[in-house]
A and B are shown apart, each in its own frame.
Chain A
Amino acid sequence: MNKGNGRKRPAQQPPVSQQPPKQHAAEPAMEEEDMDEDVFIEENLIDEDELILRDMQDREALATRLEKWKRPALSTGYQSQSENIVFQQLEIDYVIGESHKGLIPNSSGPAAIIRIFGVTKEGNSVCCNVHGFEPYFYISCPSGMGPDDISRFHQLLEGRMREVNRSNNVPKFIHRIELVQKKSIMYYQQHSSQPFLKIVVTLPTMVASCRGILDKGIQIDGIGMKSFMTYESNVLFVLRFMIDCNIVGGNWIEVPAHKYKKTIKSLSSSQLEFDCLYSELISHAPEGEFSKMAPFRILSFDIECAGRKGLFPEPTHDPVIQIANLVTLQGEEQPFVRNVMTLKSCSPIVGVDVMSFDTEREVLLAWRDFVREIDPDIIIGYNICKFDLPYLIQRAETLGITEFPLLGRIRNSRVRVKDTTFSSRQYGTRESKEVTLEGRVQFDLLQAMQRDYKLSSYSLNSVSAHFLNEQKEDVHHSIISDLQNGNPETRRRLAVYCLKDAYLPQRLLDKLMYIYNYVEMARVTGVPISFLLSRGQSIKVLSQLLRKAKQKNLVLPNVKQAGSEQGTYEGATVLEARAGFYEKPIATLDFASLYPSIMMAYNLCYCTLVTSEDAKKLNLPPECVNKTPSGETFVKSDLQKGILPEILEELLAARRRAKADLKEAKDPLVKAVLDGRQLALKISANSVYGFTGATIGQLPCLEISSSVTSYGRQMIEHTKKLVEDKFTTLAGYEHNAEVIYGDTDSVMVQFGVPTVDEAMKLGREAADYISATFIKPIKLEFEKVYFPYLLISKKRYAGLYWTNPDKFDKMDTKGIETVRRDNCLLVKNLVTECLHKILIDRDVPGAVQFVKDTISDLLMNRMDLSLLVITKGLTKTGEDYEVKAAHVELAERMRKRDAATAPNVGDRVPYVIIKGAKSAKAYEKSEDPIFVLENNIPIDHGYYLENQIKKPLLRIFEPILKNASSELFHGSHTRSISISTPSNSGIMKFAKKQLSCLGCKAKISGTDETLCSHCKEREAEFYCKSVASVSELEKLFGKLWTQCQECQGSLHQDVLCTSRDCPIFYRRKKAQKDMAEAKVQLERWNF
């Protein structure tokens, strides 16, 4: 049981023995008896009986917990190697090592060893070293090359390789060259195969270097200088292995008993480490029993650092003070380990192991030990890849703890950090850090969020507010240091906060079913799980293409990265939108998976494309080819079935199956898997088209993508024509149908009928009628009716969405100010409320009135400030910005005011626009909302009217109202304006404060009266008003502050949160301030 630990011990003995005894509390008590003794004596010396007792109890509890944390023991079958090892693999990589003499007797020298890390269904960790798989690629064989020529070519290439890689001291570069019969995937070819040379090299990196040589050209006797087109030379070694062994990401692998050998000198900390030949692996398709998930361990963690005042924490200066950890078994609801490691003492927390240490070194080492002990398969967190992990490693470096970065599964291998940039057409360019933790999958929720969701803010707070409907309390980093420097209680406060930050990523992971969705995506597309986060879409399609090509004996050329040379092509079409407010039902006809269907229907593929030269040469009969609207020629499927259509067919068929299974499934876990699968299949099918159009991708083929879009355009036009021709009064229908708008794959039709029910009937009829005119599987479907429908312009519309005639499903909006980052909340609220009033309540005057009231509130300074706050991220310091920006200027100004609380690079800066001098630029008028609240600084109404709310509102109202602009933005409601008097402006320093009558504002000389003699008669009225405003504020005050108590999860402790992302943060502040003022006013009555 303790075997793994026993082996681990010696490596770590030195640091442990140097550490003070306090460490024992946290350090797993392996040698329980001895240690107990030690502590007892030492603690006894301090002579604090109670402390000892508590310490002992703590330790006992911890020891029992540790038992629970361990992975289950290996069964005897595994130990005696008499049992088949079946495991779900999560991570595959390779290392270069001495080739395995036992398995491959006649080899020597370095070789690539594939390592597969995984978990058995019992929960045992597995490290499988696979031997014998060699890197290779293809080139087309020059015609007339015989076996002798090949061996000469081999020597020639070997020589060139040795020249290029002088430093590399391997006995042999090119292992062998074989002659094989293959066919290139590119272009329609009538012959069935051609000779290719398969070049097998010793090490994976040699593929690239060899390709370089062949690309440039090589002098061959008798032929002269010749450069070669290489095939499949850009396939990563691990992917190559997976394709050839039919392994897909996250599937189950079986190694039969007696076919594996237990590793003699084990390198990893896995429970089962063994060697085997790649040919012995059995890869199971993810079906039935093998579609389940192994119980892998997921570690979610978060660190806190004590930054210096006014600076973002840097690993070279600022210590790591707390690390919170949660470990969950896949498939279980609750984490089974919760602990927090703190620097300096910390009061206990219920249900959490608090481990306190005196030095940072101990904290870091304790965490390392913890990670190794718990042996997580997946490490998750929020922004761990860019912040937490690199910070820990760099911090350890600064402190000179060389033994810290041993966090991977390979015991003596140090964690490496390198900067990477990830760039994709879909996701844009993003800089990140890559931390290699061998054998453990890192899953950074921040990256996943940025990839999968479009949100206005990606702070953990707003993400959890969005998905979990929960506000997270946010402790400003300037307070963190204060809490740390306080007492055990304040550190406990911080620890609770830190734990919450560690728990939220786990909850997001569960809520969004990330494990299921990503594993299924890996299974469908066949790439390792780690590729899904760190790479773009194209690798997934490439993986599928290579797998399919292998079956068909096809090879993929490595097309030189042509950049954008090939130019662009015309995209999707959008029919002219007839903007307006439609009060009759609008039926929507959708093409189901339009682009995949087109590719299938017209057999569009690399291998069916006929070049213009070939078209003449081959002289294909016209009935055997399709000429696309963009002018390309593809052969029909009876001549040559395309690979892409085949992949798509399989994907879509699999999706149909998954959906059908989903309906049948009862077990929620099975359902989760199936739902993840069908989603993955859908996304994969749709990304095939994109792959062919990615000009800097792996295998771009614009002939295909431009053909797809041209067919798409044609179909939309065709549909429009058919609808408008068929559904006419002439043909016996009650009304003439009208196509009011058409998007990439949908057409909106107004049939003119007044009810949703009738529109649905006609919609179905139209869909069936038009579908019949298309080649299968292109299908037009009737899905929904919009009623009423507000069409603003292309890609911008809103409407009520009906799928059954009795009740609408939801309000659907597209392209309307939803979550734009640079808008204030007011815009969003206003737009949503207006749409709600217009579409659901069918109350246009009400909507207009609402806008007017809101504008009036804005002008009268009655607006809740939090609605006006605009937030932008500060990505670099002031000097680095070329153009002056409001938030950057503000950050600079705030730094001058108080460096400690000013925003730093990486923070989000919230600001409001205030009234400034006439000529002031917008960026000069930004101000900190808190500062504005505290000093009564007037808001620039004009800015909010003109730059924030005007455009979005006009967009909505222009199709509805005649003079929207003058109706909404001019008129009596815009005439009263109230401007607050700033309490900090220069002139106020010279002003004298005097009591004024609360009724008429006349000044009251001398006395403490509340009202002047004129207003005295109306005393009750003014009193009622004062007391009403106090009463409103009290209501608000109570609601806001109790909400914050709720979020922080404690009644007995003060709220510390300063989360500026929280919508009620400013309101809470304001309520507190207004309350104090209103109370003072009310007091004046109690004379």
Chain B
Amino acid sequence: MINIVIGKLDNNTKNWRCGVSNPVPLACKASALPCELHPHIDVFFDLGLDILDNIPNVFLFQTSSSPQIPNAFCSRLPSLNNPPCREFTADLLSLLDAGALSLQFFFWLVSTALPTIAMTPMDIETETLDRRQSLYRSMDEMFEIQKEMYKGQQYSQIYYIRLHLIRTLIYSLLPNWKPHLPVCTVLGLEKGKECIVVGTLYKHMKLKPTILSEYSKERSVTPLVTPDNFVHEDDNLVLEDESGRVNLKGSVLSPSVYVTGNVVALHGKETNSGDFLVEDILEAGLPPQLDLPNKSGEDKYVVLVSGLNVGSSSSNPLQLQLLVDHITGHLGDKKEQQSAAEIVQVVVAGNSVKIDHSLLNGQNLGSKDQSKLYEPLKELDIFLTQIAASMPIDIMPGYNDPANFALPQQPLNRCLFRGSSAYNTLRSCTNPHLFDVDNVRFLGTSGQNIDDLEKYSEAKDKLEFMERTLRWRHLAPTAPNTLGCYPFTDRDPFFIESCPHVYFVGNQDKYATRIVKGSEGQVVRVICVPKFSETGVAVMVNLKNLECHTLSFGTDI
């Protein structure tokens, strides 16, 4: 079965466009080059505008196996306004006509050879807009798990390393904080003596779900509802270092703010009952930051988008296509295209596809289920291909993606993107993701670290959680306690060594941003990137001045 789509060229805009009508596959709804076609479409023919106006703009043909393509259509092909493409296709078609080319080979050529040709600028008849270029450097190695395997290691090491890293750092801060106080270990505490202790916090939580409850002797009559937040007023904090634990008391330290895994310095004294009465707290604070370069240069934008959720019920293909069109400069007038040309990088922060997990256990899939699995992946592939064809794009794995669960999540495998993986502009990254664009440092996650903090602590908004992680100097303090994480033995990759300029988390409910300033002049743009499938919002960050605005795509007319 061969699918052939016939459309027409809009001479006014000089863009090759087709309107929207059924039953054309979704990817064809707005300007698409043959290379960008939906995988189910095999050939696309332009009819030109002179054909009867009352016929639908686009329609779909299905020929059975006959390789003969009507001459009438072939003659129209030269009007395709991309000369290299046109010539190439025409040549092919003539070959095909002559029977010198098997239909199969023709399609193969169209699908593989054309994309590279298509990359040449399209609007030759109008003024050419050049996309701005940028310098990109990925620092994901620290999140990569290469040869490390599960060999019986436990989670104690990662806590140990974290404590060691942050404690050394905090020790260096103490002379400026409270130089007159002695520093103790938990063990060295003495009753009534004021001192400073540095250790890892542990929060006893009444409501914290435990795997042991699966085995609890009686199943409760009312099904357990899992609350979104496990904070309870009876929660209490414990400070632990290698030497031991001590209960913390005092109103200075609010248990609802901190979580298990934070490393902090506490000033206080041991009470008669053996608790530690906290009088003051010191966090590690924002890490040192490199200067923001390019303050006077030209505007360059990085687009942050997350939660595409292709394949889920909330995902709207048209919205997504509009985003692609905008980014690639196929939408709007000159001005809009101008601004699109200033985009130098796209980052997709997790949850790009939604795959039905019930498909993935047990037996090999039947053909029906296979397509359920492939459809979203293919659709995403097309999306990525379209963008990758015009600019660099980073894709990070998220909670729902076909990637591992524990942080750091490893890059999505290239075999999932058969089309787009041909481009070297597509970079499959880790989550968390750390990279420089024109020496502006970006650090981002797909959202798990902040979502988990929200479950186990309280703040007035998501940005505050993000700010805290910066001040704690740790991207994911709840890992491994409540957030899955690889049992590292030699490092804690979530330790934030240098302060990013842009810190983003994906898959949030709504867009929010703020500038966080550190005591040493650090300036960080923190951004909650909303779920695109639910909000239609992508975020643009200007590399020049870290200004930030949204792109909204609506499809409701």
Chain A contact residues, CB within 8 Å of chain B: 57, 61, 334, 347-351, 465-466, 469, 471, 808, 810-811, 825, 832-833, 836, 840, 999-1000, 1018-1021, 1023-1025, 1027-1032, 1034-1035, 1037-1043, 1045-1046, 1049-1055, 1063-1064, 1072, 1075-1076, 1079-1080, 1082, 1085-1086
Whether B154 lies near A1054 (C-beta < 8 A) is yes
B429 to chain A minimum Cβ distance, whole angstroms, is 15
Residues from chain B with a CB closer than 8 A to the CB of A61 are: 190-191
Is B442 engaged at the interface, CB distance under 8 Å to the other chain? no
Chain B, 242-264, CB within 8 A of any chain A CB: 242-246, 260-261
5 tightest Cβ-Cβ pairs between the two chains A and B = A1031-B405, A1038-B484, A350-B244, A1028-B360, A351-B274
Whether A1021 lies near B373 (C-beta < 8 A) is yes
| Given known A1021-B365, A1052-B159, A1054-B156, contact A1034–B219 (CB-CB < 8 A) | no
Whether B274 lies near A1076 (C-beta < 8 A) is no
Whether A349 lies near B416 (C-beta < 8 A) is no
Q: How far is the CA of A406 from the CA of B210 in the complex (A)?
A: 46
Residues from chain B with a CB closer than 8 A to the CB of A465 are: 212
B455 to chain A minimum Cβ distance, whole angstroms, is 14
A348-B187, A1024-B360 known; 9 new pairs, CB 8 Å cut-off, are: A1023-B416, A1035-B405, A1041-B487, A1045-B154, A1045-B156, A1054-B156, A1063-B212, A1063-B215, A1085-B413
| Given known A1020-B374, A1028-B402, contact A1042–B155 (CB-CB < 8 A) | yes
Q: How far is the CA of A351 from the CA of B271 in the complex (A)?
A: 11
Q: Interface stretch among B111-119, B144-152, B329-337?
A: B144-152
Chain B contact residues, CB within 8 Å of chain A: 149-152, 154-156, 159-160, 163, 186-187, 189-191, 200, 202, 210-212, 214-217, 219, 221, 240-246, 260-261, 273-274, 355, 357, 360-361, 364-365, 370, 373-374, 377, 402-406, 413, 415-416, 418, 480-487
Residue in A1000, A1030, A1051 whose CB lies within 8 Å of B156: A1051
7 contacts between A and B (CB under 8 A): A350-B189, A999-B364, A1020-B415, A1020-B416, A1029-B361, A1034-B405, A1051-B240
B399 to chain A minimum Cβ distance, whole angstroms, is 10
| Given known A1020-B377, A1038-B406, contact A1052–B160 (CB-CB < 8 A) | yes
Whether B243 lies near A1085 (C-beta < 8 A) is no
Q: How far is the CA of A1063 from the CA of B211 in the complex (A)?
A: 10
Residues from chain A with a CB closer than 8 A to the CB of B212 are: 465, 469, 471, 1043, 1063-1064
Q: How far is the CA of A1076 from the CA of B153 in the complex (A)?
A: 11
Residues from chain A with a CB closer than 8 A to the CB of B242 are: 1052-1053
Q: How far is the CA of A1085 from the CA of B486 in the complex (A)?
A: 19
Among A348, A466, A1042, A1055, chain B packs the most CB atoms within 10 A around the CB of: A1042
Residues from chain A with a CB closer than 8 A to the CB of B413 are: 1023, 1027, 1085-1086
Q: How far is the CA of A1031 from the CA of B398 in the complex (A)?
A: 12
- Determine the residue in chain A with the shortest Cβ distance to B189: A350
Residues from chain B with a CB closer than 8 A to the CB of A57 are: 190
Q: How far is the CA of A1021 from the CA of B371 in the complex (A)?
A: 10
Residues from chain B with a CB closer than 8 A to the CB of A1035 are: 405-406, 484
Q: How far is the CA of A825 from the CA of B152 in the complex (A)?
A: 26
Whether A1039 lies near B416 (C-beta < 8 A) is no
Whether A1085 lies near B156 (C-beta < 8 A) is no
- Determine the residue in chain B with the shortest Cβ distance to A1040: B211
| Given known A1020-B416, A1027-B403, contact A1043–B240 (CB-CB < 8 A) | no
Whether A1043 lies near B211 (C-beta < 8 A) is yes
Q: How far is the CA of A481 from the CA of B369 in the complex (A)?
A: 57
A812 to chain B minimum Cβ distance, whole angstroms, is 11
- Determine the residue in chain A with the shortest Cβ distance to B148: A1079
Among B245, B246, B261, B403, chain A packs the most CB atoms within 10 A around the CB of: B245
Whether A1052 lies near B200 (C-beta < 8 A) is yes
Whether B211 lies near A1064 (C-beta < 8 A) is yes
Whether B149 lies near A348 (C-beta < 8 A) is no
Whether A1052 lies near B210 (C-beta < 8 A) is no
Residues from chain A with a CB closer than 8 A to the CB of B243 are: 347-348, 350
- Determine the residue in chain A with the shortest Cβ distance to B216: A469
Whether B402 lies near A1039 (C-beta < 8 A) is no
Query: How many A-B pairs fall under 8 Å by CB?
Result: 156
Residue in B186, B211, B244, B373 whose CB lies within 8 Å of A1024: B373
Q: How far is the CA of A1034 from the CA of B145 in the complex (A)?
A: 14
Residue in A810, A1051, A1085 whose CB lies within 8 Å of B202: A1051
Whether A1027 lies near B273 (C-beta < 8 A) is no
Whether A1051 lies near B211 (C-beta < 8 A) is no
Whether A1053 lies near B156 (C-beta < 8 A) is yes
- Determine the residue in chain A with the shortest Cβ distance to B158: A1051
Whether B373 lies near A1020 (C-beta < 8 A) is yes
Whether A1051 lies near B159 (C-beta < 8 A) is yes
Q: How far is the CA of A673 from the CA of B246 in the complex (A)?
A: 34
Q: How far is the CA of A1036 from the CA of B427 in the complex (A)?
A: 30
Residues from chain A with a CB closer than 8 A to the CB of B482 are: 1042
Residues from chain B with a CB closer than 8 A to the CB of A811 are: 219, 221
Residues from chain A with a CB closer than 8 A to the CB of B156 are: 1045, 1050-1055
Whether B357 lies near A1028 (C-beta < 8 A) is yes
Residues from chain B with a CB closer than 8 A to the CB of A1080 are: 149
Residues from chain A with a CB closer than 8 A to the CB of B159 are: 1051-1052
Residues from chain B with a CB closer than 8 A to the CB of A1086 are: 413
Whether B150 lies near A1027 (C-beta < 8 A) is no
Q: How far is the CA of A1027 from the CA of B428 in the complex (A)?
A: 16
Among A61, A836, A1025, chain B packs the most CB atoms within 10 A around the CB of: A1025
A459 to chain B minimum Cβ distance, whole angstroms, is 15
Residues from chain B with a CB closer than 8 A to the CB of A840 are: 221
Among A351, A836, A1024, chain B packs the most CB atoms within 10 A around the CB of: A1024
Whether A1045 lies near B151 (C-beta < 8 A) is no
Residues from chain A with a CB closer than 8 A to the CB of B274 are: 350-351
Whether B484 lies near A1076 (C-beta < 8 A) is no
B239 to chain A minimum Cβ distance, whole angstroms, is 10
Whether A1034 lies near B211 (C-beta < 8 A) is no
Q: How far is the CA of A57 from the CA of B214 in the complex (A)?
A: 48
Residues from chain B with a CB closer than 8 A to the CB of A1075 are: 150
- Determine the residue in chain B with the shortest Cβ distance to A1071: B150
- Determine the residue in chain B with the shortest Cβ distance to A489: B242
Residues from chain A with a CB closer than 8 A to the CB of B219 are: 811, 832-833, 836
Q: How far is the CA of A1043 from the CA of B186 in the complex (A)?
A: 23
Q: How far is the CA of A466 from the CA of B219 in the complex (A)?
A: 14
A829 to chain B minimum Cβ distance, whole angstroms, is 9
B266 to chain A minimum Cβ distance, whole angstroms, is 14
- Determine the residue in chain A with the shortest Cβ distance to B191: A61
B521 to chain A minimum Cβ distance, whole angstroms, is 34
Residue in A1021, A1034, A1063, A1082 whose CB lies within 8 Å of B484: A1034
A45 to chain B minimum Cβ distance, whole angstroms, is 26
Q: How far is the CA of A1064 from the CA of B212 in the complex (A)?
A: 7
A1010 to chain B minimum Cβ distance, whole angstroms, is 9
B452 to chain A minimum Cβ distance, whole angstroms, is 11
- Determine the residue in chain A with the shortest Cβ distance to B401: A1027
Whether A1050 lies near B150 (C-beta < 8 A) is no
Q: How far is the CA of A833 from the CA of B219 in the complex (A)?
A: 8
Whether A1042 lies near B481 (C-beta < 8 A) is yes
- Determine the residue in chain A with the shortest Cβ distance to B355: A1024
A827 to chain B minimum Cβ distance, whole angstroms, is 14
Residue in A810, A1032, A1053 whose CB lies within 8 Å of B405: A1032
- Determine the residue in chain A with the shortest Cβ distance to B215: A1063
Whether A1050 lies near B240 (C-beta < 8 A) is yes
Q: How far is the CA of A836 from the CA of B151 in the complex (A)?
A: 40
| Given known A350-B187, A1023-B416, contact A1034–B210 (CB-CB < 8 A) | no
Whether A1050 lies near B245 (C-beta < 8 A) is yes
Q: How far is the CA of A501 from the CA of B149 in the complex (A)?
A: 35
Q: How far is the CA of A969 from the CA of B160 in the complex (A)?
A: 52
Whether A1079 lies near B150 (C-beta < 8 A) is yes
Residues from chain B with a CB closer than 8 A to the CB of A334 are: 273
| Given known A348-B243, A1064-B212, A1085-B415, contact A1018–B370 (CB-CB < 8 A) | yes
Residues from chain B with a CB closer than 8 A to the CB of A348 are: 187, 243-244
Whether A1042 lies near B150 (C-beta < 8 A) is no
Q: How far is the CA of A1053 from the CA of B214 in the complex (A)?
A: 26
